[in-house]
Structure 1
Amino acid sequence: MTSSSTSIIYPPLLYEEGKSPLQHRSMNHNCFVSKIGILKEGLGVDVWDKLKESSLAVFINFAELEYTWVAQRVHFLLTHKLRINNFHEVWYLIDGRPIRFSLNEFAEITSLNFDAFDPLDNFDVDHHDFLKEMKIPTTMDGHMWSELLKVLDFSKTWHVDKRLMVGRLCLL
């Protein structure tokens, strides 16, 4: 049993109190949860149901449950992060006490797959032909939401697998 007079020294905050670069900025620069509902209509119910069974369902669930308050909580956590040198966990200072959040806990909560990659898997896939079919430029900057919305208009007759790829791209 430890004495209550013993003080434990925790790692310092990643940023000094009130000095985080995220302190007075919005986290939500380009993501609007309300726009996710447009995907259901544009992709079709069959694709929507498959997306809800995928690892990206967490985003759909946020939209359907209207979790707009989550951004405030995440912002609070990011501005109260402790300086820890462990890639598999993060620590936050909440009400003067540290809280550890591991990658395993994150995987359990979100149902996302955090298993190690198989070194034999090939992730080098050329999507240029598919992007041309979607009439989207093949730039390194990523794709704009407005470009992806145009794809929803003319992809309604595409095979389920292609519409599923469009849906994944939109959610990401």
Structure 2
Amino acid sequence: MNHSCYLSNIQTVREELGEDVWSELRESAIGVIVKLKELHYIWSAKVVHHFLANQLAIESSHEIWSLIDDSMPLQFWLEMNVPTSDGPTLLVLQAIFPICRNWPRAKRVMIGLLCLLSIDIFGISSNSRIPLHCAKRVMDTAAFQRYPWGQELHTSRLCSCALNMDL
């Protein structure tokens, strides 16, 4: 995975959000990461990308993926104390752990999914923001499950490589 991907962060998500949320994360579209963590798998970005990219079943190679926006992200972002124009950072999400224990399960699942996006899908440092267009996908469970996360992983890695080459 990326040099900013710390597997200890995944264990923290499990401990702080609870087993009920953990089991739901396991069954999510990016649950393969949770399952590999539970197997104490030796991580390889290519293998994770393969799992994520090949779990998507689509009817046509010309499908268009979209997310219909509503007001829920605004309310949820305000509860997390995140500007509505930005995605959250892992540090912000970790700061929410002590206060979100009494939140409804659905919101704790969204926090868990955001953590997994930051830690594993993007592999960004803990103070880097999750891209807003991806972070907002946790608001709609069905849309999150249908989204081709393997392609997002591939795109983020290509962007990361391109940025590193420019240095």
Matched-pair identity in %: 34
TM-score normalised to structure 2 length: 0.55
TM-score normalised to structure 1 length: 0.54
Q: Give the match for residue 82 of structure 2.
A: 136
Q: Give the match for residue 113 of structure 1.
A: 56
Q: Please say if residues 51 and 57 of structure 1, whose CA atoms lie closer than 8 Å, have aligned partners that are also in contact.
A: yes
Bigger Rg over Cα: 1
| Residue among 75, 92, 109 paired with 1:164 | 109
Shift, 1:120, TM fit? 10
Cα distance in 1 for residues equivalent to 2:29 and 2:108:
16
Q: Give the match for residue 149 of structure 1.
A: 94
Cα distance in 2 for residues equivalent to 1:171 and 1:160:
16
Q: Please say if residues 52 and 60 of structure 1, whose CA atoms lie closer than 8 Å, have aligned partners that are also in contact.
A: yes
**Would the alpha carbon gap of residues 36 and 116 (structure 1) be closer, same or farther in structure 2, given more than 3 Å must change?**
farther
More strand per residue: 1 or 2? Answer: 1
Q: Which structure exhibits the higher relative contact order, with contacts defined as CA atoms closer than 8 Å and separated by 6 or more residues?
A: 2
More helix per residue: 1 or 2? Answer: 2
**Would the alpha carbon gap of residues 115 and 137 (structure 1) be closer, same or farther in structure 2, given more than 3 Å must change?**
same
Cα distance in 2 for residues equivalent to 1:29 and 1:115:
32
Cα distance in 1 for residues equivalent to 2:41 and 2:68:
33
Q: Which runs of 5+ in 1 are unaligned?
A: 1-26, 79-100
> Hey, which bits of structure 1, 4+ residues long, moved more than 4 A?
116-122
Q: Please say if residues 47 and 163 of structure 1, whose CA atoms lie closer than 8 Å, have aligned partners that are also in contact.
A: yes
